Amino acid sequence: MRYCVKESCVGCGLCVATCPEGFFMNENGSAQAVDGPVEPAWEASAREAMDSCPVGAIEEA
Ligand code: SF4
């Protein structure tokens, strides 16, 4: 699965803490999804990060 982070991200860092293999903070202080599909081993935590985002900024791409 691929993910993307919308502009509504408030930079709380929760997704990066939940799934550092799938998300990182960019130079603007917003989260960004890694390029390409998340490795199967990290799929569960990536999905948890999407479900846990307080502003619903993570979507399946
Ligand atoms: S959890 Fe949501 S609001 Fe927080 S950094 Fe990630 S995408 Fe942004």
pLDDT in tens, 4-52: 999 999 999 999 999 999 999 999 999 999 999 999 999 999 999 999 9
- 56 CB under 6 A from ligand 1? no
> What is the distance in A from the centroid of ligand 1 to the CA of 50?
8
Domain count, the chain: 1
- CATH no. for residue 10? 3.30.70.20
SS3 category, 15 = helix
Closest to 11 measured CA to CA, from 48, 54, 59: 54
Q: Whose CA is nearest to atom 2 of ligand 1?
A: 53
Range of the domain at 49: 3-60
- Ligand 1, closest atom to CA 13? 5
Residue 44 is given by DSSP the state H
pLDDT of residue 31: 98
Nearest-angstrom CA–CA distance, 34 and 28: 15
Q: What is the pTM of this model?
A: 0.95
